[in-house]
Amino acid sequence: MTRRELLDIIEKGEGLHVEFKRHFSDYEKIAKELIAFANTKGGVLLIGIDDDKKIVGVQSEKEETELIRETAERYCEPAINFSVEYFPLENKEVVVVTIPESDRKPHRLQDYQVELNPNSAHVYIRVNDKSVLASKEMIKILQASSRKMKLKNYEIGKNEKIVFEYLEAHETITVKELKKAANISPRRASRTLIKLVRANILLIHTKDNGEDYFTYAG
């Protein structure tokens, strides 16, 4: 990254791929941001920049880097890859942490469990300029995508047809709406929508509040 590119990023403000931090706050808060970027499309964490774009700088670049390294290795599961650059701006030092999109999704806050439990794991994704908790459905879709799991002998059944009819009338559908429309359990409704996403028939979207909804792909 060049100095000019960094200034352009700061000027545009926070977004899907950019988060500002005045300073390193605590391990879990920073881990949440690293995880969200790694689970989505990657991004940059700028330390030494206030929410209003003011350049405040950091006291010690090495100390900030060590805290980031410790966070990525000890508080994220699996550990997250990142790179660090330092830039002097207005006689202050800014730390730029770049997190690439991961091929080991989903990452979660370290819970010391052998296997990821979608019902209790704290998995984060990036939505607009926020890092939000992922739903069970999103976690399972991330797992399937990362493992390149293919659907076997998948057939369109009664519940899938109800999804299509609902989308024709409303354009979007949620797990709760499918549960009610098809008179099935939340678990079956969830599985139906997940399979349709994996079949590239539907897309999953997450709102700023963490709620999911589904639409036709394309």
Asked whether the whole model's pTM tops 0.85, one would answer yes
Q: Are 24 and 32 in contact (CB under 8 A)?
A: no
Whole-angstrom distance, CA of residue 71 vs CA of residue 33: 11
pLDDT of 155 above 90: no
What CATH architecture applies to the domain 150-216? Orthogonal Bundle (1.10)
pLDDT confidence of 180, banded at 50, 70, 90? Answer: very high
pLDDT of 154 above 90: no
pLDDT of 110 above 90: yes
Q: Are 157 and 134 in contact (CB under 8 A)?
A: no
> CA of 210: how far to CAs of 94, 108, 205, in Å?
31, 16, 9
The string of DSSP letters for 174-197 reads -HHHHHHHHT--HHHHHHHHHHHH
Report the percent of the chain where pLDDT is more than 70. 100
Ordered by start, the domain boundaries in the chain are 3-134, 150-216
Amino acid making up residue 13: G
pLDDT of 88 above 90: yes
Whole-angstrom distance, CA of residue 70 vs CA of residue 63: 11
Report the percent of the chain where pLDDT is more than 90. 90
CB-side neighbour CA atoms (13 Å) of 204: 28
pLDDT of 150 above 90: no
Fold of 3-134: 3.30.950
Tell me the average pLDDT across 45-57.
96
